[in-house]
Amino acid sequence: MTEKKEQLKPKRRLQGVVVSDKMAKTIVVRVDRVKTHPKYLKQYAASKRYKVHDEKNEFKVGDKVIFEESRPYSKDVRWRVVGKA
């Protein structure tokens, strides 16, 4: 019999700026990206906000943080803080 080893995908890691820390153990992080328009090929800035689990409430507005995928902590929170960027 051969054992089947599971291939674990690496967790996605993103970097962004904290824009809100008003919730308990949760921060909101804005991630900015540069996208290219498919037809006009012009580059433009796009951003997305993620709710991130911060167990110790150590990050404040304006901090740059690195966060990664994790298990669901609540309805909206599926990311956890790794550390400062």
Structural domains in the chain plus CATH codes: 13-84 (2.40.50.140)
d(CA 38, CA 33): 15
Give me the pLDDT at residue 4, please.
64
Q: In one letter, which amino acid is 36?
A: T
Beta bridge partners of 30: 17, 49
Q: Two tokens at 53? A: 């689990």
Task: Give the whole-angstrom CA distance, residue 4 versus residue 83.
Answer: 34
What percent of the chain has pLDDT above 90?
A: 88
pLDDT for position 8: 84
* pLDDT, position 53: 98
**pLDDT higher than 90, residue 28:** yes
Q: What is the mean pLDDT of residues 66-71?
A: 97
16: tokens are 């962004």
Which residue reads 């433009």 in tokens? Answer: 44
Taking 60 as the threshold, does the pLDDT of residue 1 lie above it? Answer: no
Model pTM score? 0.86
